[in-house]
Structure 1
Amino acid sequence: MTTAHDVIRQQIGKIVDGIHAKDLDALRRIYAADVVSFDVEPPLQHVGVEAKLKNWARAFTFFAEVSYEVRDLTLTVGDDVAFGHCFGRLSGTLGDGTVTNGMWVRATFCFRKIDGDWLIVHDQASVPFDMSSGRGVVDLDP
Structure 2
Amino acid sequence: MLTPTQREAEEAEIRGQIDKIIDGLRAKDLEALKRPYAPGVVSFDIEPPLQHLGVEAKLENWARVFAVFGDVTYEVRDLALTVGDGLAFGHAFARLSGTLKDGTAVDGMWVRVTYCLQKIDGTWLIVHDQVSVPLDVPTGRGVVDLEP
TM-score normalized by the length of structure 2 = 0.94
1:56 to 57, 62, 67: 62
In the alignment, structure 2 segments of 5+ residues that lack a partner are none
Q: What is the identity percentage for the equivalent residue pairs of Structure 1 and Structure 2?
A: 68
Q: Which residue of 2 aligns with 1:33?
A: 39
Q: What runs of 5+ residues in structure 1 fail to find an aligned partner?
A: none
Give 1:42's aligned residue.
48
Q: Distance in 1 between matches of 2:108 and 2:137?
A: 22
Map of 2:133 onto structure 1: 127
Q: Which amino acid aligns with 2:44?
A: F
Q: Partners in 1 of 2:128 and 2:114 — Cα distance?
A: 8
Paired residue type of 2:75:
E
Q: What is the CA-CA distance between 1:60 and the residue it aligns to?
A: 1.1
With normalisation by structure 1, the TM-score equals 0.98
SS in structure 2 of the partner of residue 11 of structure 1 = helix
The residue that corresponds to 2:107 in the other structure is 101
Inter-partner Cα distance in structure 1 for 2:102 and 2:55: 29
Superposition deviation, residue 35 in structure 1: 0.1
1:17 aligns with 2:44: no
Q: State the number of aligned residues.
A: 142
Q: What is the deviation of 1:102?
A: 0.2
Aligned partner of 1:71 in structure 2 is 77
C-alpha RMSD of matched pairs (Å): 1.0
Cα distance between partner residues in 1 of 2:16 and 2:73: 17
Runs of 4+ in 1 over 3 A off after TM superposition: none
Q: Deviations over 1:108-141 (max 9, x none)?
A: 0010000001000000000001111000010110
